Structure 1
Amino acid sequence: MSFALSTTVDLDFDRTVAALREALSTQGFGILTEVDLSGTLKTKLDVDVPRQLLLGACNPAYAYRALQAEERVGLLLPCSLTVRAGADGRTLVDAMDPALMVELTGTSALTEVAAEVRSALRAALDALETR
């Protein structure tokens, strides 16, 4: 099983981040956390890596339903996404596949909400491809 939903777009990094925020918002997600991974690595280790941003997205209704099915699922929330600058000028976007919640917890009651979250994240990534 793949652990990520992915897309590569012909937008620069900053435009991709803005478009992703909009696409996630359209699907009912807000951004709870944001980590500039490349900036942190530069500051802490003085290493240069291509730009990479980690986003923690949450749709409260989905999160609540998941918590009702498995109270420890909070360990796997919020939905994790990365935006990475590609060497070819394109930008790569990955989202953790919510089906992993079911696989990791063994809680079949999460199956329905995981499928709905997966569909919403896939829709957000697909919206980037039409830009």
Structure 2
Amino acid sequence: MEYTIQTSVSSDFDHVVETTIDELKYDGFGVLCDIDVWATFEEKLGEEFRQYRILGACNPGLTHEGLSEEIELGALLPYTVIVYETHDGEITVSAVDPQQLVGIADNEALDSIANEVHDRFERVLASVADKLESSTEI
């Protein structure tokens, strides 16, 4: 089962992260958390790992609407967007597919919200790819 939507780009890792955050903000998402997995593994484990960031994205209006329909939805939030370096040197931006994620709740009232978030994430990923002039796989 596919549970993410993604794009891959050839660009500087930090620039991809910055562009992704900017495009999320442009489409109404705030980034509530930013976890630098590479730095955490280095500091806590003394282990090397590829560049990898986990961004917790939230759209307050859509979140309010979703929590009003399903109070336990908060256990699935914020929506996760990851940026990581692939083995071939490309940078992948991958977002959880909210249609798959919200399907767990088995509440049809959430379908329109999941579809809206899905559409916004597709726009964000397409915009990241366009701005960084690369190939997109959505």
Shared topology, TM-score over 0.5?
Answer: yes
For 1:87 and 1:102, the matched residues in 2 are separated by 31
The answer as to 2:81 corresponding to 1:59 is: no
Task: Return structure 1 stretches of 4+ with deviation > 2 angstroms.
Answer: 86-89
Q: Which amino acid aligns with 2:97?
A: D
Aligned residues: 131
For 2:35 and 2:105, the matched residues in 1 are separated by 26
The answer as to 2:49 corresponding to 1:49 is: yes
Deviation at 1:46, TM superposition (A): 1.1
- Which structure 2 residues correspond to residues 1-131 of structure 1 after superposition, within 5 A? 1-131=1-131
Deviation at 1:34, TM superposition (A): 0.8
- State the identity as a percent: 32
Which runs of 5 or more residues in structure 1 are unaligned?
A: none
Which runs of 5 or more residues in structure 2 are unaligned?
A: 132-138
For 2:10 and 2:64, the matched residues in 1 are separated by 35
RMSD value, Cα:
1.0
TM-score, length-normalised on structure 1? 0.95
